[in-house]
Structure 1
Amino acid sequence: MSFKGEQYPGVQTPTADSAGFRLNHTMLRVKDPEKALAFYSRVFGMRVLRRLDFEELQFSLYFLARLEEDESVPEDAGERTVWTFRQKGLLELTHNWGTEEQADFAYHNGNDQPQGFGHICFSVPDLDAAEAWFDANGVEFVKRADQGKLKDVVFVKDVDGYWIEVIQADRLAALGD
């Protein structure tokens, strides 16, 4: 790999100590796993690779991915767990048991004050078709592609209020400076 990354103050050259490191997943806490799983599987076509329950700690983890048609996933649960933790770009939904029964319970979405976490992002092959799909499925928009100063970028909300950026890569070539 000849590309060494864009350089800015603070960027340091990686050492051999971090060779093989990769981002595996991002975790979102969800109030009701049934609703969250319905949203991510129906709207974004994700599949649950593995569910891990921790009875003593009263929580479950759901690891989701958008698999390719020809992707081979191990059937054996142990092998699939290892395979799951070797992947890139997974979404982990964490459910703390009992939250779904609390009517006034909600997690902070990161975009309300005070701001922190911002969003996850999906790249789609056709942004206009994705917007139509979201409309057809009652997905709440934060921003459509033709709105605001940042064109060709969509933001929607999931069932817990987390923001999801949706982009079409080939429409972003001129983005930024």
Structure 2
Amino acid sequence: MSHPIAALANVPGVAARDAATTGFVFNHTMLRIKDPRASLDFYTRVLGFSLVRHNDFPEAEFSLYFLAIVDPADIPGDESERKAWVAGLQGVLELTHNHGTEAQDGAVYHDGNSEPRGFGHICLSVPDVRAACERFEALGVPFQKRLTDGRMKDIAFIKDPDGYWVEIIQPTPL
């Protein structure tokens, strides 16, 4: 019997992994944010990320915040060590703040989920999706889709302060 993943080799456009890509790591996704205080609070307090690196570029008027779900005790104290460590992580979220946007009225960035559609969402896997959703509800986090909405009763979508969707799943069946 062949391995179930072998069937994916027959999907059009899927090539075998080139040996030259050994060691490649999907490191991060970048989202532009309007207000770093609101976004950092959401991603750290609400979703459990740790701020692993921060860079300000005053001459270019922007700041970068790198977040990951890691034990804060594992974050290297030395800046050069931390930079290399962060570059080797998987699943890092880079938040980019263009200075001054926090003072603008209304939405500043397109969330990708209204016309024209593009970017869709990021996803967080949690041990218990029901408990996580109850906590988000208690914290006043806006939902795009609750577990009870639609046909897919095992996933939820919440919104971050900029309206980006965050899918919430659990690794085991409900």
Whether the aligned pair in 2 keeps the contact of 1:30 and 1:94 (CA below 8 Å) is yes
Structure 2: stretches of 5+ with no match in the other structure: none
Please say if 1:61 is aligned against 2:64: yes
1:121 and 2:123 correspond:
yes
Matching of residue 76 in structure 1 with residue 78 in structure 2: yes
1:62-87 CA distance string (max 9 Å, x none): 00011147x62211112111111110
TM-score normalised per structure 1: 0.90
Which residue in the other structure is 1:28 paired with? 31
Map 1:104-115; keep pairs closer than 5 Å: 104-115=106-117
| 18, 23, 31: which one aligns with 2:21 | 18
By how many angstroms is 1:146 displaced?
A: 2.0
Which TM-score applies when normalising by structure 2? 0.92
Does residue 37 (structure 1) correspond to residue 4 (structure 2)? The answer is no
Specify the alignment match of 1:142 in structure 2: 144
> What amino acid is the match of 2:138?
A
Distance of 2:59 and 2:107 partners within structure 1: 22
2:55 equivalent among 52, 55, 66: 52
> Which amino acid letter does the alignment assign opposite residue 169 of structure 1?
P
* 8 Å CA contact 1:99, 1:105 repeated in 2: no
Q: Is the 8 A contact 1:122 1:166 kept in 2?
A: yes
Residue by residue, what CA displacement relative to the aligned partner does 1:115-135 show, whole Å, maximum 9, x if unpaired? 000000000001110111001
More helix by share: 2
Structure 1 SS opposite 2:156: strand
Letter in 1 for 2:102: E
* Correspondences of 1:87-106 after superposition (within 5 Å): 87-106=89-108
Letter in 1 for 2:78: D
Aligned pair count? 170
User: SS of the residue aligned with 1:100?
Assistant: helix
Q: Distance in 2 between matches of 1:170 and 1:17?
A: 34
CA apart distance, 1:149 = 1.3
Equivalent-residue separation in structure 1 for 2:46 and 2:6 (angstroms): 36
Contact persistence 1:25–1:89 (CA under 8 A): yes
* CA deviation profile, 1:109-166 (whole Å, cap 9, x unmatched): 0001100000000000011101110011100011111210112000010000000000
- 1:104 deviation in Å? 3.3
Match for residue 155 of structure 1? 157
